[in-house]
Structure 1
Amino acid sequence: MISRDTIMVYVVSAIVFLSIVVYLYYRNIYSFWRKMGVFNIEPEFFFGNAKDRVLFRKSFHEFHRDIYFKFKGHRYAGFYVGRRASLVILDPEIIKCIMIKDFNHFTDRQTMRLRTSKYITEMLINLKGSKWKKMRSQLTPSFTSGKLRTMEHLIDICCNNMSDFLNDNIKKNGFKPYELEMKDFFGKFTLDVIATCAFGVESNSLTDVTGGFASRVSKFATLSITKRLSLYIIILFLPGLARFVPLSFFNMKVIYFLANVIKEAKSYRMSTGQKRNDFLQLLLDSESNPDNKNENKQNEDSLTEPQIVAQSVLFLIAGFETSSTLLTFTCYELAINQEIQIKLREEICSILDRYNGKCTYEAMQEMTFLDMVLGETLRMHPPVAQLERVCTQDYMIPDSNLILQKGTAVQIPVIGLHYDPEYYPDPYKFDPNRFSAEEKASRHHYVYLPFGTGPRNCIGLRFALMSTKRGMVHLLKNFSIELSNRTTVPYIYSKHSMFLKAQNGIWLSFNKLNTS
């Protein structure tokens, strides 16, 4: 019979042996960039270079901004997220090659192969190669100038509803400034715009006292601590298990809720024969018909119901996050910088006067200072902190001897580029003049990437900007935007979100202008 002491010796020996094996394994992994002759910061065991992010010591934006400046002075640098090696690109010329010139070598985004719903895996952002290219080409017609112009009156209805909401609450407040949390307020407005323009659904989020629809959608990326921790463990230490574990970066309750909303809208149109000139109709017109015996073209171009629902859900949540964030931080900066707010209001009112008070397409095109204000907001407060691409073919980095192997991830630190004083002097100052035609022409084009660039840029970019601009016009011609007692300046980044969020929200007040 084996004694307890002998068993303990075996156990301790096994632990020591496994520890040595794991140590040697990670030491070999963390020598990857050094062997390639690429500058990198010494990684930490298990975490790589991502410890501050994994332990929520820094927000996503702060983390990637700090990484950029640690690597500043190098055209590119090696980086580790857990076991995964990626190349951080700092040189705008290399960024141009990756995103545009040599895009055929970087067609895919970095994605985790999680075992999750088709409503997630079939989203455009998760598709790769020819499958992505086909879906992108099918969705693009929804965002042409002609299609967007047909939505102007629908957006204006939502804008008028937003103005009415503020007027009513200012009146109830005794005509004193009415205080609101901006992300919540603009999230509801944005949902109304998207639901109306893209799906023909009236969500009435601003006037819904229960806040049901908007409240649910706003939680699309809210995960429990257990699920969040499980995702990080898999990403960092056990990526091979990802395809077997039923986890997602999205809150699946929200995804299924939105899927049902889309299905109901689809079912209503199919049963009534109603057709609309919108995003959902484009998808429905491409839907496969299982009863159609002539499958020649159907097999090539048709979409399945999961594909239709996936793109619709993506459009809802991506549009919600992007537009509401831009509106939130534009108002935040205008409340702080009152002289800029006054100048912008003067431009808006002057141009509207020339168009009999109507917010026409032509009037919007003349509002160049509004474009400059939004441009500077997106520089300082980009919705995402970094972009990722995957090398799909072996690639030699221009003007170097470095060959990236197929499957290697590259990161473009958007937030770092946007705060680099080499490109933007005094980067923490809000200065819309940086986006005058002259200033933009004098600056490298690829140091400003709030929506990405190239074939895989944000497909809904033009829709997001159009709805944001019209929203700002309606607000500024009717209301002044002011700081409130609950405004935090500067705001504190939320450390628990991949997206741009303020820890305590962005609280501002609206006051009715005397337009008589």
Structure 2
Amino acid sequence: MFLTSSLTTDLAVAIFFLTSVVTVFFKRSFQYWSRKHLPHPHPTIPFGNLPNPYKDGESIGVFLAHLYKEMKKVDPKHCGFYAFAKPCYCVFDLDYVKNVLSKDFQYFVDRGIYYNEKDDPISAHLFAIGGRKWQNLRKKLTPTFTSGRMKMMFQSLLKCENSLYEAMEDFCEKSEAVDIKEVLGCFTTDIIGSCAFGLDCNSFKDKESPFPKYGRKIFESTRLRSLLNSFSVSFPNLSRVLKIRQIPKDVGEFFTKIVTESVRYREETSFFRKDFLQLLIELKNARILTIQEIVAQSFVFFAAGFETSSTTMTFALYELAKNQRIQERLREEIEQVLRKHRGEISYESIQEMKYMNQVVDETLRKYPPIPFITRECIRDYKLPAENIIIEKGTSVFIPILGIHHDEEYYPDPEIFDPERFSEDNRRIRHQYAHIPFGQGPRICIGSRFGLMETKIGLTSILKHFKLSVNSKTREPLMMSPQSFILAAVGDVWLNAKKIY
């Protein structure tokens, strides 16, 4: 190969050549949706249509909601877009959403989420894995989340309620503003620590407890981590070669150590407890699960239960603090139902709170903790009544936040109105217009548990405290651009006044 005598010139030529190759690669890739005659926004090198993590001020979930709103004006059914050079398919029409999640599920079994079982084994959990492995594991775990199992674990959840009350009471006595997400994060940490690991995390009093620290670290996102996550989803095979991890190494090591030690202790001492970990141990003893699968499932159970439920409660209490009439109506229901149960929060009393269900459902509509879901097309799929083939390997995105804020289904979507979920209103709306947990065979397996801890938390607080919005809350709320889970910039601060 001919080389010039000038190293600077050689480097310049090499850079020019490499840049030209990359540019040609991207421009050819960017012709994909044009060839299929599917509308798509104009992409740019190198991020395609994704937000630039070093420049743009929105998360992927908010980006997809904006894409939904703008591109639905062009085509009400769907559009294409690009994640780096990778073509992605975004679904708008609710019948198409139903096809992807349920009716034609056999084409969209996998989520298409990146995981690295070799270098990051804890990432190979039920939420991420696909194919036959997912089907087998889902079948094994489904019996652990039945209503009967939830009722069995209810008392373990309820034991954490007193610490929540004491923490809120302390804020009242000191007349301090409440960082409600932080408080509820401690509450959900204690619940998941108890139910998933059989441990007393004592998060409210032990400020050095590692569980909240590592729980937050799971979802902490820097610009570099956001870039790596987007890259690994777009180029999963290359990412595995580069040994890119989905879960920070210290987080994985912490949860692996906690779970393996807990399992070993129970097996050596014959200690028995009615919780999630015990159910997994029973599956291990029946040679249905391995210890590594127990670690991975315990991890995702903690991650989902810790963050999504505290997020739901945070936004619910914010809206109730803003809307005093709704807050009072819900409190009246709580008091009325609890009177029938000797003033005690019980599994049965929680089930009777109909308006509570409406408040939670409206919160999940306006603030879905996970603002989008993904699927991967595992074999070529022809769209119904269209001459378009979604090819094998295509990532499919369903913009939950965009659907939940569509005026076609929810007039004045920015208004918080639990009446949207009265029985009559729910009946006349498309079933797939409200999908905070997804739908179909891959619907969130832990939704019952998450709703149960959410309702216990809301009942405990509203039974004893009247809430209002503190001036430290930045209004109108803006969503953090660095968070995968919906989170308000500056957090949500409330005033709490004790009810005597």
Please indicate the TM-score interval, normalised by the length of the shorter structure: over 0.9
Structure 1, unaligned runs of 5 or more: 289-297
Which one-letter code corresponds to 1:215 in the other structure?
Answer: K
Which one-letter code corresponds to 2:28 in the other structure?
Answer: N
* SS in structure 1 of the partner of residue 90 of structure 2: strand
The equivalent residue for 1:277 is 274
Paired residues for 1:36-75 under 5 Å: 36-52=36-52, 55-73=55-73, 74=75, 75=77
* Cα distance in 2, alignment partners of residues 374 and 390 from structure 1: 30
| Aligned match for 2:462, one of 473, 476, 481 | 476
* Cα distance in 1, alignment partners of residues 119 and 20 from structure 2: 39
The equivalent residue for 1:95 is 97
Task: Tell me the TM-score normalized by structure 1.
Answer: 0.91
The equivalent residue for 1:179 is 177
* Cα distance in 2, alignment partners of residues 473 and 51 from structure 1: 39
* Cα distance in 2, alignment partners of residues 447 and 209 from structure 1: 41
- Asked if structure 2 preserves the Cα contact closer than 8 Å seen for 1:480 and 1:510, the reply is yes
The equivalent residue for 2:195 is 197
1:27 counterpart = 2:13: no
- Asked if structure 2 preserves the Cα contact closer than 8 Å seen for 1:114 and 1:244, the reply is no
Which one-letter code corresponds to 1:274 in the other structure?
Answer: F
The equivalent residue for 2:253 is 256
Encode CA deviations 1:412-444: one digit per residue, 9 max, x unaligned: 010100111111100101111111111111111
| Aligned match for 1:347, one of 296, 316, 333 | 333
CA, structure 1 residues 458+233, in 2 after alignment: closer, same or farther (shift >3 Å)?
A: closer
How many Å apart are 1:3 and its aligned residue?
9.8
The equivalent residue for 2:242 is 245
1:210 counterpart = 2:208: yes
- Asked if structure 2 preserves the Cα contact closer than 8 Å seen for 1:115 and 1:245, the reply is no
The equivalent residue for 1:137 is 139
- Asked if structure 2 preserves the Cα contact closer than 8 Å seen for 1:52 and 1:63, the reply is no
Aligned residues: 497
Paired residues for 1:396-415 under 5 Å: 396-415=382-401
- Asked if structure 2 preserves the Cα contact closer than 8 Å seen for 1:221 and 1:250, the reply is no
- Asked if structure 1 preserves the Cα contact closer than 8 Å seen for 2:232 and 2:244, the reply is no
Which one-letter code corresponds to 1:196 in the other structure?
Answer: S
- Asked if structure 2 preserves the Cα contact closer than 8 Å seen for 1:231 and 1:247, the reply is no
CA, structure 1 residues 141+225, in 2 after alignment: closer, same or farther (shift >3 Å)?
A: same
How many Å apart are 1:235 and its aligned residue?
5.4
- Asked if structure 2 preserves the Cα contact closer than 8 Å seen for 1:452 and 1:458, the reply is yes
* SS in structure 2 of the partner of residue 455 of structure 1: helix
1:390 counterpart = 2:371: no
Encode CA deviations 1:366-395: one digit per residue, 9 max, x unaligned: 211110010111111101121100111221
Which one-letter code corresponds to 2:267 in the other structure?
Answer: M
* Cα distance in 1, alignment partners of residues 456 and 115 from structure 2: 39
The equivalent residue for 2:324 is 338
| Aligned match for 1:496, one of 463, 482, 491 | 482
How many Å apart are 1:140 and its aligned residue?
1.0
Paired residues for 1:64-463 under 5 Å: 64-73=64-73, 74=75, 75-114=77-116, 117-171=119-173, 173=174, 176=175, 178-223=176-221, 225-232=223-230, 240-287=237-284, 302-463=288-449
Greater Cα shift, 144-153 or 248-257? 248-257
Structure 2, unaligned runs of 5 or more: none
* SS in structure 1 of the partner of residue 415 of structure 2: coil
CA, structure 1 residues 280+391, in 2 after alignment: closer, same or farther (shift >3 Å)?
A: same
* Cα distance in 2, alignment partners of residues 401 and 196 from structure 1: 53
* SS in structure 1 of the partner of residue 468 of structure 2: strand
* Cα distance in 1, alignment partners of residues 16 and 214 from structure 2: 49
- Asked if structure 2 preserves the Cα contact closer than 8 Å seen for 1:188 and 1:205, the reply is yes
Which one-letter code corresponds to 1:110 in the other structure?
Answer: G
The equivalent residue for 1:292 is none
Larger Rg: 1 or 2? 1
- Asked if structure 1 preserves the Cα contact closer than 8 Å seen for 2:195 and 2:277, the reply is no
* Cα distance in 2, alignment partners of residues 379 and 159 from structure 1: 26
Which one-letter code corresponds to 1:248 in the other structure?
Answer: R
* Cα distance in 1, alignment partners of residues 385 and 326 from structure 2: 43
- Asked if structure 2 preserves the Cα contact closer than 8 Å seen for 1:54 and 1:232, the reply is no
CA, structure 1 residues 429+469, in 2 after alignment: closer, same or farther (shift >3 Å)?
A: same
Encode CA deviations 1:252-279: one digit per residue, 9 max, x unaligned: 2122212222122112101111122321
For the aligned residue pairs, the C-alpha RMSD in angstroms reads 2.2
* Cα distance in 2, alignment partners of residues 167 and 121 from structure 1: 39
Greater Cα shift, 259-268 or 309-318? 259-268
